[in-house]
Structure formats: C-alpha cells, structure tokens
Structure 1
C-alpha cells in the first residue's frame, strides 16, 4: 500500500472527532434551546426525554413577529431563530444570501462557541447546547430551527417536538423530491415521518485492494454479501493471497459500526426495549474476536505506526467527492469501494450517515417560513467550503463541513466540473491538505451507483455506543464471556432507554 494507507486509518479518527464537534452547526447561549445527542438511526443523551407524549403548548408571541401560523400571508417581518453549536462560515454566508433574497425574513443564529480552542472547551459547549436546548424544547419553547446532529431526534419525534417535514415538502410546489437523493431521505424517516433534513451525507463502505484480490481468484459479490459470507471470503484471501491481514480496523470500532448499522436488530426504539441479550449479539461479539485472534483483521492502532501494511480491506467512511477520489489512489491505484456486508435480517444495500441535519420546532409559529429556508439550504449549489476555511484560525466544524450534497443537482454539477477539469482538490487544512487528485471517469460512474444504492442509515454516536464499547472491552481482552458482557450491555441500555 502507498502512503495513503495512513490517511485511511487517520480518517476513522477524524470522523469521530468531527462527529463530536457537531459538524457544521451548533447551539446557543440563548435559554430558548434544547438537547440530547446522536441522530439518524438512534438517539443520544436523553435526560428527561424518555417515554412519549405531547409537548407543552408554546405561548409564542407570533403577532409581534408579523402573524400567527395559519393566518395566510404574513403582515409583517418574520424572525427565525436558528440554534447551532458553532455555525460554519458557509452557513453564515447562506443566511446572508437568503436574507438578501427575502428582505422580510431575518434569521438569527444562536450558538455557544465562536471558535475552536480545544477538545475540553468543545465538549463543554456541546453539553451546554444539549442541556439548554433540551430544557427549552420540553418547555414548549426553543428556537424555530435547530441543528440536530447532536440531539436525540428519535425522542423528540416520539414526543412530537419536531415538525414532520414530509407534509411541508408536499405543500411546497417548488420542491421536487426527484432533485434529491430520495434513497437517503426515505431511509432517514422515523415512524413514517421525516423530522431531520440532511443537507449532506457520508457513505460507509470498505476500501479494498482490487488488484491483490483479483490475483487470488476470489469472487466477491459485495452487493449481496453478509458478514458470514465476508468471513468465508476473508479466509480464502488469507490462504490464497500474499496478504495475511484482510481487514484493517479495531474490535471496538468494528463492533460499534455493526451495532450502528444494524440498530433495529438490537434496540426496539418504539417500545424502549433493548435486545442485546440474544444469540445474534453474542454471535457478533464472537465473530469479531475470532477475526482479530486469527489475524484476519488487524488493529488500527498497531497499523497506524507502521506506515504501511498489506491488507485487503479498510473499514472507513467516504466523506466527499474529493475524499473518495483521494482514497481511490491507495493500493498503488488499485483501490475499489465495496459495499459493506449486511446482516441477513436487514437485507442488502449500502450504508450512509446523514450530516448537517436541520429540524423545525413543532411549536414554531413560522413552520412554512422555516421550511423555505431549509429547502434553500438543501438546494444550495454553492456546496464547497468557503474560502475563509483556508485561514489559520479555522474551526474544527469547518473541516467537517462536507459530505455528499443531498441535492442531486448540486452533486451532478460537482461531477460535471470534475470530469471537465480532470482533477479535484482536497479540503485545505484537512488530513489530505489541499492535494490535487485525478478525477477518473469509471470511478465517478461507480460512485454514483453506491450513492443511490445506500439504503441503511448509520446512527450517530450516542450513550448506547459508549455502553457497548465500554462493556465489550472485557470480552475482547478475555476477561468475561460474550454472554456475561451481553447481559451487562442489555441491562445498562434498558436503563438508559427508560430514563
């Protein structure tokens, strides 16, 4: 493998750091905000959000803002409060542009952090955002719009604290779902409703050395393979090929990925029940441990210091077009993106994780106006990171302001520009600092298939992930049995779900 193997390993850590940083948005000093953690497939820190029920009525001063919801055309200016942890330069620029196009609308960004200082301060700001937003939402107050990447979307939806965006989409004659990656939108729903609009998303897959795999004669049907079939393929590759390591990852990371990717198998969100004390989960633990014990899988921590390791696959996210093209130059240019194996219960298909998710407070008197701004952000074609991200004092959220745009029109324009130029530059100040990479036509064609074939939502980091990681360590170190660990996880997750 060439030097880009190190980048592949580091990308795993960068994504986790980006997730903890709140991506591109954040929350505010304003006491009218609310909270949790996690989104997408599962929720985050719940606090007092367990259970279900209707939110308290909001006594909003809608008349002072121009009109009450349902009164028809507004009679005066509208002010939308948008809560984030740390708004990116791109979001600020989009607000200014939208306000210039809609003089009667003012968008106030409220947030807890103005610049990135260190991880400790970032964690404190995130916690502040979560706590204040949570309290406000439970009180029937809160902002009109809120960035949801760090908040418990499932629990908000169960308590009817967020507006269902599907209805607003249907009412908006200018919004055409065919202009967006509908596979992502449809599979981001909770109980039939879309409560968090993703402005972008990441792909999750395996980056493989297609050249080395081809030499072994091993046939791979990555569109349909399960983890059991992957284990069979891994053994064949280890026996036939020159590489002894098949997968570059780590036990806790791989377990966390599998739980997040197959969340419905382990958590019944609707009934607040955990399902970890099961043969399926203990079997998963045993499968992962066997892969590392036999050397088929290699620890990321051990490999990162080697500079190079002969491995067939690396488990990692693909966060943008430039990211994809960059990693495709790994393995001396023989890299290929493979769909991740799936659990038989969920069926085939690729994996994605939503990014930059935005929701509307169900108590907002300006839902239609709020939706119009979300639609503007989703359709925004200026999806590249703004020029001031090249400044020295960038924030960590600016690094992660990326992903594949939810707008197919914006994505198609990216592809057209890449094909015409023949090259793409990676993000300045990122892991691959402003590197120019070749935009290969066949690779771009393959990428489109993977983007449209992604149907399994990967949940974002949550307290459940922490519990699984903390308790599974004893099993991977040989200190406890899989059954004992599964029971501990079952009990702790059950307590969390019913807090």
Structure 2
C-alpha cells in the first residue's frame, strides 16, 4: 500500500486527494505487480543542466523532475536498453524514501518549500541556458517560458514523427493544452474531478448527473443545505474553492494571448459573492466534520456530494464506500455545456536551448507508447486510448476482498468523460497563491468583493507582465 506525503502542491481539498490515493491503492491491489525498476539517475535540477556527452560516446538526456517515480525509473531502464547510445539522467528535486514494503510512496504531495526550490532553480537554469533537456512543468509558469521561446513546440515533433498516430490518443487532452498555437507541455497521464453523489437524497431533486450548471446547483441543492441533519458538501477552505472554480474556467479570467487578467470584472465579483453565500447558507459542513472511509456509511448518508479526483478507473468505485446508492456527477459549470476540465499528472516540456531536442523527444514520446502506457506503474488515466480501455477492463474484472467494485456503468462513465475533457484546469502556482491570500479578507468580512477583485487584478497582471 502506498503512503502519502503530508503536503500537496495542488489546490484540491484533502478529501479529493485522500480518495484519489485510495483509488491508487485499489488499483495497486488489483493490478499485476510490475517489475521493480532501478533508481533512475541522481543529482538535483541545476547541477549541470543539459549534457550531451557520456561514457563511450553516449548522449546524456537530463530530465529535471520534482520527484522521480517508478514509472519514470522503469521508462529510463527500458529506453536505455533499446538505445545504448543514450543515457537518461533523472534529476529529482526531492527524493522519496521507499516504504518498508519496498514500494515508493505515491507522488503528487510535496512540501511547498520543495516546490519553491524546484521552481526557482528551473527558472534560473532556463534563463541562463543551463536547464535540463526535459523538464516537469506542472509547478512552473510554463506559458511564460513559452512566450520567451525557452520551450520547444512539441506539436511540431508530433507532426514529424511517423510513429505518432493522433487517432490512437486522446487528442482532446493535447488540444486543450495548446498555447498560442503551440504545444509546450505534454502529460503522459491525466486526472479529472468528479463528484460522487448520494442518490437517496438527489433523485427527488431531478438533477442530471451531467451537463448541469452552478445556478442549478445553488437552487436545487440549496433546499438540502437547510436540512439540519447534514450539509451537502464536506468542508473546503473558501480560498481553495475559488481556486478550483477559477482553474476550471481559467480562460474566463486569464487571457493567455495578451497575458492579462480579468479579475476586476463583474464575473469574478459575482463568483466571490456566490461563494460567500454558499458558506453562509451552510452548503459546507463544519471543518471538524469528516466522513469515515471505514465502510460504515452511517456518517456519510447525510451528505450529498463528495469530490473525488479520478486518477485511475478504480476511483469509480469510491462512491460505494460513501453511499448506499451512489452516482458519478460531473462538476457543474457556468453554462452546463462547457465540457469537463482535467489536470495533468506529470507534464513534461523540452528545453528549446537543448542541443538534444530530438533525443529528448524520443524519450518523451516513449512514455506515450503502448509499452509504457500499459505499464502497471503508470499513475493516472492513460492518454493512449487502448491503454485506457485496458485499464477499464481490468477494473471490471478486479475482485479485491473487502474493497468496493465499480459497476460497468460507472466505469463506462469515467471512460466517456475522459474522451470529453476539453479544458485544462491547471493554474500557475503563483496565481493560485495570490487568489488564496487575497481572498481571505473578503471571506472574513474585512474587505469588499470589489476591493479584493481589484487587488487580485493588479497583482496577477503585474506577475503576468514580468
């Protein structure tokens, strides 16, 4: 069973991450054990940058990551075996000790100081031309680097690679990540947020599990919020709620083309006011109230929704831990017709100043092949269609004593949603920090929504224009 670190660099509430980790546990228990991969390389980002010379004339491809994982280590091992003239050097900013069982801990949870160190180091390396050939850019303002021509357009590599067939992939994911006509970050897996719904309380309201709006949410779920027996949603910090809402509709608040913010307008002011009203009307439980995942549903039957970040088809079963009659709901959107948003599990970019861009692409594209996308070490939903379908079939056939099992309909729902995601929910970590900090005075009654919106507008614009 995989352990989790205490801090998350993502904005999602603790409950979504806890359940997402449970999904990984279910998947790990039901999947075949993969071969143990050797530790991949050593060193930290910035301790030498891109290197082109190794032993016996090998080219060395440096890969800067926040933390390595078994998937990347296995890819390094397999790639080097097939390409003896290339050595992959994985350079983590954080090294995770293995558990007593010998399994590495789950990735994605880091102390903020680790991320700050990684971002600062990579930023300096990119600016002075010493960055690694490949970089993990999830916690970085990568579109700003793309503007400065520091990252390569990998869409061009895709076009020129005869081995890459777009029909085999969820191109909706790659299309959603395009920036200014180019593709500057590629994930090898993704995750998406859904809400597990308690149908015993929801069915009488006539809510559709898909394509519903925030207006419907407030109007229909508002009737349940007045029920003193239980709040519709588990507690979430208001700042985190704002970050999730902005991330899901980032194009409405950040104009990537002009690098300007749109937070001073009525749309964001209304979002602040709406969010405050949700807390005032007790849509959320109190911070000290939590749901047990012991399988005893007595405490959860009074809840209505439980957010879950789906990083594996096994997550489709989580609703059965919570409710006697669960259903998978899409997260509401502004219009109800905007489609699903997603997060990249690990997003890689190619240093445009690297002398080894082609070799860097060779390794990155290897992560997208059948050999790696079918690997049981892959964490997240595969971007290769065949691998996704195989993961779904494995979840259908899985049988783990004491663990819930998803129905075929629930698994098909996740598969359907994966093919429909069309909005990248990733926000620049700096913008997340601004939103979190600047909205606090509004939710504590110290400042008006208009004042807070203007402050956020000014700070984000200043950052975007640096």
Match of 1:445 in 2: 412
Per the alignment, residue 124 of structure 2 pairs with 135
- Name the CA shift for 1:91/1:295 in 2 (closer, same or farther; >3 Å): same
Partner of 1:308: 299
Change (3 A) 1:146 1:27: farther
Give the root-mean-square deviation of aligned CA atoms.
3.3
Alignment pair present for 1:349 and 2:345: no
Q: Which runs of 5+ in 1 are unaligned?
A: 1-7, 18-23, 34-59, 67-74, 386-400, 426-434
For structure 2, which runs of at least 5 residues remain unmatched after alignment?
1-11, 22-39, 99-104, 293-297
Residues 7-43 of structure 1, C-alpha deviation per residue, up to 9 Å, x if partnerless? x9743355999xxxxxx9998243345xxxxxxxxxx
TM (normalized to structure 2)?
0.81
Secondary structure at the aligned position of 1:454 is classed as coil
What is the distance in 2 between the residues matched to 1:28 and 1:358?
A: 17
Q: Kindly tell me: are residues 415 and 471 of structure 1, through their superposed partners in 2, closer, same or farther at Cα, counting changes over 3 Å?
A: same
Alignment partner of 1:80 out of 47, 61, 65: 61
Instruction: Name the counterpart of 1:463.
Output: 430
What is the match of residue 232 of structure 1?
219
User: In the TM superposition, what is the alpha-carbon distance from 1:197 to its structure 2 partner?
Assistant: 0.8
Could you tell me whether the CA contact under 8 Å between 1:274 and 1:490 is conserved in 2? yes
Q: Across the two proteins, how many residue pairs are aligned to each other? A: 420
Render the CA deviation track for 1:451-480: whole Å, top value 9, x for unaligned.
112112111461211221212122222222
1:353-368 to 2 correspondence within 5 Å?
353-368=343-358
Change in Cα spacing, 1:193 to 1:27, as seen in structure 2 (3 Å) is: farther
- Give 3-state SS (helix, strand or coil) of 2:422's partner: strand
Rounded to whole Å, the distance in 2 between the matches of 1:364 and 1:141 is: 9
**Residue in 2 that maps onto 1:418:** 395
Report the TM-score when normalising by structure 1. Answer: 0.76
- Cα distance 1:266–1:230, how it changes in 2: closer, same or farther (>3 A)? same
Instruction: After superposing the two structures, state which structure 1 stretch, 153-162 or 435-444, moved more.
Output: 435-444
The aligned counterpart of 1:52 is: none
1:482 aligns with 2:449: yes
The 2-side partners of 1:263 and 1:25 are apart by 36
1:305-360 CA deviation, whole Å, 9 max, x = no partner?
7882512112342222222323344212x22221111124x942112111111111
Residue 317 of structure 2 is aligned to residue 325 of structure 1: yes
Partner residue in 2 for 1:42? none
Per the alignment, in what secondary structure is the counterpart of residue 84 of structure 1?
A: strand
Distance 1:318 1:113 in 2: 25
The 5 Å alignment of 1:197-276 reads: 197-214=186-203, 216=204, 218-238=205-225, 245-250=231-236, 251-276=238-263
Cα distance, 1:114–1:253 mapped onto 2, change above 3 Å? closer
C-alpha displacement of 1:181 = 1.5
The residue aligned with 1:397 is none
